[in-house]
Amino acid sequence: MNHPKPRTRIQQKNTEAILEAALDVFSQYGFRGSTLDQIAQAAELSKPNLLYYFPSKEAIHATLLAGLLDTWLDPLRAMDPTGEPVEEILAYVRRKLEMSRDFPRESRLFANEILQGAPRIKDALEGELKNLVDEKSVLIARWSAEGRIITVNPHHLIFSIWSLTQHYADFDVQVHAVLGEDSEAPFAEAERYLVTLFTRLLTP
Amino acid sequence: MNHPKPRTRIQQKNTEAILEAALDVFSQYGFRGSTLDQIAQAAELSKPNLLYYFPSKEAIHATLLAGLLDTWLDPLRAMDPTGEPVEEILAYVRRKLEMSRDFPRESRLFANEILQGAPRIKDALEGELKNLVDEKSVLIARWSAEGRIITVNPHHLIFSIWSLTQHYADFDVQVHAVLGEDSEAPFAEAERYLVTLFTRLLTP
DNA sequence: GTCTATATTAAGATAGAC
DNA sequence: GTCTATCTTAATATAGAC
């Protein structure tokens, strides 16, 4: 096999170094804006060596994206039908905000892909993603019908959680530019603001 | 002058065609992901002719960005200190949402630039943008102090308006993928949802 | 002002030695 | 497995005729 799955320790290490470097580069410059030279340098490997581990630039990018959607949806999957509705939704908001804080590169990789028309993950958006969102929307609608939260459009509620939390990763430069040097930790402030927002929105 | 400001009708027309085509292409593929070939084809001009009107690819992109920030901030500027607070903020939300609906390409051009670290407009973000946001934050804080809206972090309130409204332009593909074929007009639904959200958040 | 032809560089990918 | 050297293509930009 020309481009093996990692078996030895050294293969494991190099494959990981490449993916780590590629995440850095792709998340900042997008697919077309990134070069193998940049990735090779960041991974401290030669360009041909990169292409020993992956058949192409596309393949590196695809590998990164493949794992991403699943991880990205975990917090939504964790929303518990048997829990207390407002608390469940707030917990989802908190987990998403933590992901923006702890995995901003992944968020930007995803944002770059969507922004450019999602050429590589459109199928997953229309399949896996839509299915999960539809399922959780039914749950949210039920909570509304039971009078445990107010009645809102469940899909747009979910969109709002995504946009509000991912903003702090994707538009990070703008957030810092506006808040300036003297800003307190943006994420702590953001959490307080978002908890207020969703509590007041949802509580009947 | 080698690269004239448009004077004749034909120059005017071609310059506009180029900028229009460039907005199409840059907003979809980002700066590095776009090629002069694509822009030339979209503008129905030859590539050398493009470079008769603009000295470089950079210059076309810069021209688009230059006008953008100003237009982008107009709705916030229009927030009236003498108006009724909740109504003023809702009006701002509506104007921003209309811009996402009517000028999605501009929104994505901006998003692409910020996402990639804002290399070309960082100064404007830290100057013009920060100043305006700081000014309006003082106004919002005063409204809170007067008990006319609840107390929230004004900067994060503004961030939330940006993220919630721009999401419908920038992540348009995802919104459509999730809502599916049968979706009602997303923007009409979004407006209802956002009015509910900000009314319930802000009303004391 | 517009075009054809072309110079120049950068980038993805491969060959082949070690 | 890793490297140097190189092939090939595509992209920005220019020269120069019309």
A162–B160 CB contact, under 8 Å = no
Last residue of a domain, one of A37, A55, A73: A55
Q: Report how far residue B18's alpha carbon sits from residue B106's, in angstroms, rounded to the nearest whole number.
A: 15
Confidence of residue B4 (pLDDT cuts 50, 70, 90): low
Beta-carbon contacts of residue B36 (< 8 Å; ≥ 6 apart): B47, B50, B51, B57
CATH number at residue A6: 1.10.10.60
Q: How far is CA A201 from the centre of its chain?
A: 24
- Whether residues A73 and A137 share a domain: the answer is yes
A93 and A33 fall within a common domain: no
Q: Which of A46-55, A133-142, B78-87, B183-192 has the lowest mean pLDDT?
A: B183-192
Residues A78 and A34 in one domain: no
Task: Give the residue on A whose Cα is nearest the Cα of B104.
Answer: A115
pLDDT for B2 beyond 70: no
Q: Are residues A27 and A69 in the same domain?
A: no
pTM above 0.85, yes or no: yes
Closest amino acid to nucleotide C2 (CA–C1'): B49
Of A65, A163, A137, A99, the residue nearest B171 (C-alpha)? A163
**What mean pLDDT comes out for the span B74-100?**
98
| A150, A116: one domain | yes
Does residue B148 surpass a pLDDT of 70?
yes
Q: Give yes or no: residues B33 and B104 share one domain.
A: no
pLDDT digits (tens, 9 = 90+) for B5-28: 667 889 999 999 999 999 999 999
Count structural domains, chain B.
Answer: 2
Residue A39: closest CA among A71, A17, A63, A58? A17
Residues 6+ apart with CB under 8 A from A53: A3, A11, A14, A15, A18
Distance A46 CA to D3 C1' (A): 8
Three-state DSSP state, A145:
helix
- If asked whether residues B140 and B39 sit together in one domain, one would say no
Nearest-Cα distance to chain B for A168, in Å, is 9
A88 and A33 part of one domain = no
Give average pLDDT by consecutive 10-residue segment, chain A, 204 residues.
67 96 97 97 97 98 95 97 98 98 98 96 97 98 98 98 98 97 88 98 98
Nucleotides of C under 7 A from a protein CB: 1-5, 10-16
Residue span of the structural domain in which B21 resides: 1-55
In this structure, the answer to whether residues B100 and B41 fall within a common structural domain is no
Check residue A5 and give its pLDDT.
Answer: 64
Distance CA B71, CA B5 (A): 21
Is residue A90 within 8 A of residue A193, CB to CB? The reply is no
CATH code: domain of residue A85: 1.10.357.10
Residue whose tokens read 């493949």? A66
